[in-house]
Amino acid sequence: MSAPLRYKPYPAYKDSGVEWLGEIPAHWEVKRLKVLASVQLSNVDKKSVEGQEAVRLCNYTDVYYSDQIAPDMEFMSATATCEQVKRFSLRAGDVLITKDSESWTDIAVPAVVAEDMADVLCGYHLAHIRPASECVGSFLSRTFSAIGPRDQFQVAANGITRFGLGGDAIRTGLFAMPPPPRARAAGHRRVPRPGDGEDR
């Protein structure tokens, strides 16, 4: 049996100022998501309407079961308005997260977009997050899966039989971020997906 993977500690740490986050490496910074990226909630449904532009949709299950959204995936065909195409088409580095679910534990499950896909749109029940130039999308996506950042969104979800996460709750989420070079390297590591090792 192989030994568990261990990471070397950083030379120095500091108090993050966030109780649930605790100490972070001294050269990292805590920022709200609205500083790191733009966030919009998709209103693109699965219907096809005559006169609208033909598109493909990246839907909830595409994100839920994938680390990465790639062009070779089988996306649903639909239509969208010109404004929706402009707002919700996918670019490399975008992060998509689940915002609605029957279980609060399935809230804020992320996937990063591998490359530009002008004809693929972020579908309903998802939040479309576009990182600013200094924010690395692959690292941000991984951070959504980490204990702490993930939990803050699950706790913020509202509902009884179905749970939902509002735009403000997403935008005000807190993240500990390293310098971009470190974030790019860390962003390539795989994290477990919901249901890994289970039949679904």
pLDDT (mean) for 95-110: 96
Domain interval for residue 62: 25-186
Q: Which of 3-17, 140-154, 175-189 has the highest mean pLDDT?
A: 140-154
Q: How many Å is the Cα radius of gyration of the chain? A: 17
Instruction: Give a yes or no: residue 18 inside a domain.
Output: no
Provide the pLDDT for residue 199: 36
Model confidence band, residue 97 (pLDDT cutoffs 50, 70, 90): very high
pLDDT in tens, 106-116: 999 999 999 99
Model confidence band, residue 9 (pLDDT cutoffs 50, 70, 90): confident
pLDDT (mean) for 145-160: 93
Bridge partners (DSSP) listed for residue 158: 164
Provide the pLDDT for residue 1: 47
Lowest mean pLDDT among 126-130, 137-141, 178-182: 178-182
pLDDT (mean) for 115-131: 97
Instruction: Give a yes or no: residue 12 inside a domain.
Output: no
Mention every residue, 6+ apart, whose C-beta is less than 8 A from residue 156.
Answer: 165, 166, 169
Model confidence band, residue 197 (pLDDT cutoffs 50, 70, 90): very low
Instruction: Give a yes or no: residue 55 inside a domain.
Output: yes
| Number of folded domains that form the chain | 1
Provide the pLDDT for residue 195: 53
Instruction: Give a yes or no: residue 86 inside a domain.
Output: yes
- In b/e form, how buried is each residue of 100-138, taking b as 16+ CB within 10 angstroms? bbeebebbbbbbbbbeebeebbbbbbbbbbbbeeebbbb
Instruction: Give a yes or no: residue 45 inside a domain.
Output: yes
Cα–Cα separations (whole angstroms), residue 5 to 8, 24, 86 = 10, 20, 43
Instruction: Give a yes or no: residue 196 inside a domain.
Output: no
Instruction: Give a yes or no: residue 193 inside a domain.
Output: no
Provide the pLDDT for residue 200: 31
CATH number of the domain bearing residue 48: 3.90.220.20
Instruction: Give a yes or no: residue 130 inside a domain.
Output: yes
The model's pTM = 0.87
Query: Residue 133 is which amino acid?
Result: S
pLDDT in tens, 24-37: 999 999 999 999 99
Q: What CA–CA distance (Å, rounded) separates 33 from 52?
A: 33
| Mean per-residue pLDDT over the chain, rounded | 90
Cβ-contact 150, 108 below 8 angstroms: yes
Query: Residue 141 is which amino acid?
Result: S
